[in-house]
Chain A
Amino acid sequence: MRKRVLMNGNDAIGEGAIRAGCEAYFGYPITPQNELTSYMANHMQAHGRVFIQAESEVAAVNMVFGAAVTGRRAMTSSSSPGISLKQEGLSYLAAAELPSVIVNVQRGGPGLGNIAPSQSDYFQATKGGGHGDYHLIVLAPYTVQEMHDFTIDAFALADRYRNPVMLLTDGRLGQMMEPLTLYAGRPQKIPAKPWALTGAKGRKPNHIRSLLLEDGALEQRNLHLQAKYKTILNELVGYDEYLTSDATVLVVAYGSSARIARGAIDQARAKGVKAGLLRPITLWPFPRARIRQLAGKVRGILVVEMSAGQMIEDVQLSAGDRVPLAFEGRMGGGIPEESAVVRAIQRLAKPPQRSARK
């Protein structure tokens, strides 16, 4: 029996990174992810790996770029305002196809906002954020165990697809303590990276670049990226379901909101409403097909988010107009009340009335 330990989510990410063979971490202080930066400060050097407290988030993400250029596994973490600063770097990482892991422990925004948990960076994470046609792979853990496990997955996916991977979580999960089982498997095999810059010994020089001025070259690069994204869409979609098989109301929520939704679903069932949860694990690629399927079987879909409603746009795109869609959420660091979610489920469960359409 493997030992279980008690850890907060931020530390669990840090330990995941170390066990995934992350060789370089670059960070800059910002609440609510500071535990992660300190964890890396304490543990990376002890493992003979690189830790730098950078002069800014901008510098940190570009240090990740440099580390990734050498083929090493590298990571940075921050929270919302800092992630905004990293957007330039993310665009370059995506363009140059450099495997890398970026953690966003979201807090309330916009602006400096506050340090309370939030999910208002969904658009930024899944729709781009930086300039150009690119995508990050976005993973959304909802337990401390998943914070740990998904970090390890993130490194593997980054290498497999030569793409930056974002772990999109929030301050609540970051600071929450939960028991978890630490990864004790073999160190992951890191694929060969013949493109990496290591010094042109016995080979032609390698170049990492995203400036492509030659006629048609940039379009070619974009076509290549889009083909890769298509592969990812086909291969990678991840989600989790809870009591969906007989559900008449489908709740869609990720991360912290999914925890609240689960509790609300149990309560709703106790009151006789058959609700179920679809929890996207990959926010990009988004589980569109599955949501479309479930939309055909339920009376309504409720989206719960700690935002003004961002993921709901993807749910809408997936479900189409076949079924009423409702939203329950709070902004600015507010956390949706379980009871409010239960009420929203009950409203959707009522047989449709002629005047009920809003």
Chain B
Amino acid sequence: MSPSRKPTQASRRSVYHRPVSLVNKPTHFCPGCGHGTAHKLIAEVLDSLKIREKTIGVAPVGCAVMAYYYLNCDISEAAHGRTPAVATGIKRCLPDRIVFSYQGDGDLAAIGMAETIHAANRGENITVIFVNNSVYGMTGGQMAPTTLSGQKTVTSPCGRDAHTMGSPIRVCELLNTLDAPWHIERVALDSPAGVRKTRKALLTAFKGQMEGKGYSLVEILSPCPIHMRLSPLEAVRFVKEGMVPAFPLGVFRREGKPVA
């Protein structure tokens, strides 16, 4: 079960408490934003694996650029898309530390695709947390590589047209063609069950890194109510009904082997 922030009084048993790895201050994320959930889950996993003090995160630009305000561990910035390269530099120098990158879809799958593929292909022993919210959040809701076909964004005002703008890139499937990755999984923040699966996936990924297993990537389908132009509840529904059919959930790579 979830780790607890502080030992509760003897008369109580904790069901859920905020993780200590999460700084206790309100975030700047919009209401219903999946980044908040993802941060919370990372913090829970750092708590439960007791690795907060040996973890170094890398956060590039994107709505999560201020991860250092919220995650109570060492964190470095990275230039847009260069996140896996920065994470590689850190991990190679400090192989006994736990290194994760936290990247949006623009960062990971557009400007940083080369770095993404090559870090995966080298089997860097890092954990990549890929928040796929189908748009560029920070810059105002532009089309992302993961924008759905037909989805309207400020730069695809008539909807994404596959013939001229490409189709959504399925990153897990793409990386699963490589030999090196150890764990690749796609989850969705579309329900409490989805949140639990996400927690478990992150746990698997970080644990694998601790055991020196190699590259892990967890793609989290995540609501961005603002730029999906939906209420928080509708955005969660969009993740479930719009994104999940386009980005099938599941484990693609387990223990270094593609899952049939």
**A residues lining the B interface (CB < 8 Å):** 23-24, 26, 50, 52, 54-56, 58-60, 62-70, 72, 74, 88-89, 92, 96, 197-202, 205-211
Main secondary structure of the interface of B (DSSP, over half): mixed
Check if B82 sits within 8 Å of A65, measured CB to CB: yes
Contacts of B93 in A (CB 8 A): 23-24, 50, 66-67, 70, 72, 74
Check if B88 sits within 8 Å of A66, measured CB to CB: yes
Q: Please give 17 more A-B residue pairs, beta carbons under 8 A apart, in addition to A62-B82, A199-B98.
A: A24-B89, A54-B85, A54-B118, A55-B118, A56-B114, A62-B89, A63-B89, A66-B89, A67-B89, A199-B56, A200-B53, A202-B53, A205-B74, A207-B68, A207-B75, A208-B75, A209-B75
Closest-CB distance, A340 to chain B (whole angstroms): 44
Check if A199 sits within 8 Å of B89, measured CB to CB: no
Closest-CB distance, B239 to chain A (whole angstroms): 28
Check if A89 sits within 8 Å of B79, measured CB to CB: yes
Check if B73 sits within 8 Å of A208, measured CB to CB: no
Closest-CB distance, B80 to chain A (whole angstroms): 9
A-B contact pairs, 19 of them (CB 8 A): A24-B89, A50-B92, A52-B122, A59-B82, A59-B114, A62-B89, A65-B78, A66-B78, A66-B85, A66-B86, A66-B87, A69-B56, A89-B79, A197-B74, A199-B55, A206-B74, A207-B74, A208-B77, A211-B61
Size bin of chain B's contact surface: 35 or more
**B residues lining the A interface (CB < 8 Å):** 52-56, 58, 61, 65-66, 68, 71-79, 82, 85-94, 97-98, 114-115, 117-118, 122
Check if A65 sits within 8 Å of B118, measured CB to CB: no
Q: How far is the CA of A211 from the CA of B66 in the complex (A)?
A: 9
Given the interface contacts A200-B52, A201-B53, A202-B53, does A66 sit within 8 Å of B90 by beta carbon? yes
Check if B85 sits within 8 Å of A63, measured CB to CB: yes
Q: How far is the CA of A64 from the CA of B88 in the complex (A)?
A: 9
Check if A62 sits within 8 Å of B78, measured CB to CB: yes
Contacts of A52 in B (CB 8 A): 88, 92, 122
Contacts of B82 in A (CB 8 A): 58-59, 62, 65, 88-89
Contacts of B65 in A (CB 8 A): 211
Check if A69 sits within 8 Å of B72, measured CB to CB: no
